[in-house]
Amino acid sequence: MSRRPLTRFGRPLRNCDGHAEMTIPPESIEVGRCYLTRDRRLRRVTGFRENGEVGYKYRTFPANPKKTWRSGALRPDIFAATVERVVPCDWTPEMDE
């Protein structure tokens, strides 16, 4: 089974050399740190799994009133490719205005 490539606006997330575009190096991912994704989700890293995946909790904006934080896991390279930047864990969209 093949995985769908990551895309942005219908195009693969690649730089001019054809490699996956990353704003943070995968080795810099830290437990307890929060990251903002390109699609405006806030991710808080909860740990690393035995298979090497990054475990995290995430929330979207506006926050879902029933269940604010949801769980997820991604390979470190994919996690890094989808992250825009490190942010405080209490980040809200209003902080960027």
pLDDT single digits (tens) 14-61 = 544 444 567 899 999 999 999 999 888 999 999 999 999 999 999 987
**Is residue 48 situated within a structural domain?**
yes
Residue 6 belongs to some domain of the structure: no
pLDDT at position 13: 52
The answer to whether residue 13 is domain-embedded is no
Question: Mean pLDDT throughout 1-23?
Answer: 51
Does 25 map to a domain?
yes
In a domain, 84, yes or no: yes
Does some domain include residue 4? no
pLDDT value for 7: 52
Residue 91: what residue type?
Answer: W
Say whether the peptide bond before residue 62 is cis (omega within 30 degrees of 0). Answer: yes
Structural domain boundaries enclosing 76: 18-91
The reply to whether 1 falls in a domain is: no
Q: Is residue 72 part of a domain?
A: yes
| Phi, psi (degrees; rounded to nearest 5) at 96 | -90, -10
Read off the pLDDT of residues 56-94 as tens digits, 9 standing for 90 and up: 999 987 766 666 789 999 999 999 999 999 999 988 877
Find all residues with CB under 8 Å of 11, minimum gap 6, and list them.
Answer: none
Number of folded domains in the chain?
A: 1
Residue 7 vs residue 93, higher pLDDT: 93
Helix or strand run (H / E) with residue 34: strand 34-37
